[in-house]
A and B are shown apart, each in its own frame.
Chain A
């Protein structure tokens, strides 16, 4: 659909991820390492789940029957979500175990990064890689002159794909924060909730092309997760009000820096 749509969808899908990367990750080499390693872990989970999908399709002789194809798709999505969460947990364990090594290579004595920050970066890594894999294929096809629709699909395909990718990227970030917090405090119900929400979002995407049924609920879940992640990473309503009132009391700043 030409260059305008290409750039529009690219900005929609990767705008927030780009902004987060530029303002929070880029200056700290440790965070870059954790980000890339997180992306790699997501990639590993995708590799394994695609192998399972491959074998499943081959085993069912190519899945020519549409209902069987749909069933296989649902199974594939379910399995992929579970694998992603397993790898998130694995990454958590790895990061905890690697604390010593990371402390050794950092400039100052001890680690300059907290688990909460690692959680955020890991989640962002997962989100960026997930977004890239969802969107790059579609972006390259959006460069041509045609738009989706000649076989009856909706013509808003590119925009909704970009919006979905945006939501997923942010969702992965928030899930990372909440998940690691849950693992730290050994609150297993938190982990279960994250997995359940991830499954719910994946299931909602299966409702496409009924975009009204998939996008608004996903954005609702994203807002919910944003709030949850805010509170679980140390934010509080007191801080928010302090933020607003701080504007009228600039001199309190030096108090916080002790």
Chain B
């Protein structure tokens, strides 16, 4: 008997082990009956600087609220005053996403979260969540330098700004970009939450829960202090926030020895700069078309136009192209470069800098003029004044030849927010900022999710394949090509090049069109694929070449798709493609070159002819320079001079929709449960105490059971 039992148990165990190797048959759990998980959530996260926290926060276990769609003023009154089922989770139509409504939500205790529908229907004439005076405390104008020009006293650069991005919300705010998802939410709302004849809807009601709990609080100083404590005393240190950081991209027409830092003798440099980043109210969503892409595309096209001439007839001075990352957050990239230049830790120093030309927002020109902004306070220095006047005269003569109307704004107007201001803080350098706005920005959607291709009027005829769209020259492409030609010729002249070569410098509209397509519409196109490394091209969806336009928010490094931001990578490899030379090194030689002093080596996919192509090694003088605020290097987290922006960390960000039952039903269930428990305790006690009496004829002596 025993052996058989052993055999049976062994067989049972074997069966069990076999069964465990199978995957789950059909996991239909109760949870799937209750919740509808929303994929692809776009949250608003918390950012901190030396003194404040901005952004949104949810509670640790998510914020739940009964859904209500905000479509009219009645809805607003219902949500804030009369609705009987607070707190509410608002689904906000585009038209209502403005400062007054959001501040009323912020001050109300009946709102547990907001989900904003991001679409073009109902979009207001203008929407900029940025402040009216961007980067006002970290520019050059202060009490000591041009106090009458500080704090946008003379010109409010972004007058349409409502400052929403810089408010602190204690409830989560998500963006609904996917139309299908919005439809799911609307359907649930229409099925359960609609008011019938003005009376309140009945339970069960549709509700939504948003999770976006942020770990950092108060400001950067507090957060870094707590992180330091964690790192020192905890076995599993938990970092609470990360500084915003990435890389600047720089290159020069004459290669510079990157291993020798500090002053370079007999090297005079003209800096051509623009910014690489943008931002919006939501995390990692920043199309930044007019704000950033116009500048990047113009400068890249100018680089391409200048390359042949600077090789054949090199100008007197070196031209130094640089793309600054993090300029939206108190000039992270430019302050870091200036800081390194001051301490002789950069490839050149400030004595090498002759002058600077910065490209601001140049995309909304379309027939209007271009303007050259300069700093009036620096004119007190006569040499600077003369140099700037010469720059402007040269540029105007170039512009006349190109049929562009180029002028200077009123003399007492300060510089717009630009990287040049960080250079001027340290040393008076002659510099100009090229922009399409005379006083305030023309961009009505500055630093918002709506600053996209449509804002720049970039559209393609229907029925074009992606490859045809890639090379289609829109009006905007032609306009930016003209600006790029102006920039290139001005730089050549500024660098002391000969006049007779100027007419050979022309920006190619086709390159501009390709750049616009790649940066505004679709980054996964054939041109970008050909100039990126093969491992990026092969990774597909989970790499920097995912579908859609790139996002320009700086983020924190390192990321899961690589240590460098996708846009920085693109600009780096595009520069390598436009200014580099192909070498015949093998892959291992390319990745371990003999000398990295003057050039960098890039192993790229190469042009694919008929679907196949050979990777090749490109040599270019393009470098990346770390762009993290000097405040973090000096550990001065409360610094007023440098950017102190950090981004909070979080565990999970998700959203789900479900039904909630009324409080009465819940209490009824609890009441019934307690009643059942007490009743059964009483009855059982009673029966068990009377058991001998009740089951008396069951009394048998033990022997009879055998």
**Residues on A facing B (Cβ under 8 Å):** 1-2, 4-5, 7-12, 15-16, 18-20, 22-24, 47, 51, 53-54, 57-58, 62-63, 99, 103, 110-112, 114-116, 137-138, 141, 144-151, 153, 155, 157-159, 162, 166, 230, 233-236, 239-240, 242-243, 246, 256-257
Contacts and interface: CB of A to CB of B under 8 A. Distances in A.
Given A11-B677, A147-B204, A150-B188, A158 B669 contact: yes
B145 interface: no
A24 B659 contact: no
Nearest to B669: A8
Nearest to B187: A150
B60 interface: no
Given A58-B22, A145-B209, A150-B188, 5 more contacts: A8-B672, A15-B681, A99-B705, A155-B659, A230-B694
Nearest to A56: B25
Interface string B666-706: 11111111101101110111001010111111111011011
A23 B658 contact: no
Interface stretch (B28-36, B268-276, B409-417, B524-532): B28-36
13 contacts: A9-B673, A11-B670, A23-B681, A47-B12, A51-B19, A58-B25, A62-B25, A99-B705, A111-B702, A138-B30, A148-B30, A155-B665, A256-B692
Contact of B64 (A15, A22, A138, A145): A145
Contacts of A23: 681, 684-685, 688
A116 B695 contact: yes
Contact of B693 (A62, A114, A242): A242
Please give me the 7 A-B residue pairs with the lowest Cβ-Cβ distance, nearest first.
A146-B658, A234-B698, A11-B673, A8-B669, A8-B673, A15-B677, A8-B670
Interface in B545-599: none
Nearest to B658: A146
A16 B706 contact: no
B695 A147 contact: no
B18 to A, nearest CB: 9
Nearest to B697: A234
Contacts of A11: 670, 673-674, 676-677
A6 B597 CA distance: 68
B698 A24 contact: no
Contacts of B674: 8, 11
Contacts of B31: 141, 144
B673 A15 contact: yes
B contact patch SS: helix
Contact of A9 (B16, B209, B669, B698): B669
Given A103-B702, A145-B207, A233-B695, A19 B684 contact: yes
Interface of B: 12, 15-16, 19, 22, 25-26, 29-31, 33-36, 62, 64, 188, 204, 206-207, 209, 656-661, 665-674, 676-677, 679-681, 683-685, 688, 690, 692-700, 702-703, 705-706
A99 B674 CA distance: 39
A133 to B, nearest CB: 14
Contacts of A7: 670, 673
B659 A4 contact: no
A146 B684 contact: no
Contacts of B667: 4
A47 B17 CA distance: 12
Given A8-B669, A150-B34, A150-B659, A116 B696 contact: no
A146 B694 contact: no
B684 A8 contact: no
A138 B679 CA distance: 24
A150 B657 contact: yes
A220 to B, nearest CB: 18
A20 B681 CA distance: 8
Nearest to B688: A23
A141 to B, nearest CB: 4
Nearest to B698: A234
B705 A1 contact: no
Contacts of A234: 695-699
A12 to B, nearest CB: 5
A8 B26 CA distance: 29
A2 B680 contact: no
Contacts of A115: 705
B694 A5 contact: no
A58 B21 CA distance: 13
A230 B698 CA distance: 11
A11 B668 CA distance: 13
Given A112-B702, A116-B698, A146-B660, A16 B34 contact: no
Contacts of A110: 702-703
B452 to A, nearest CB: 34
Contacts of A233: 695, 698
A183 to B, nearest CB: 13
Given A11-B677, A99-B705, A148 B696 contact: no
A155 B695 CA distance: 42
A112 B702 CA distance: 7
Contacts of A246: 693
Contact of B22 (A47, A54, A103, A116): A54
Contacts of A158: 669
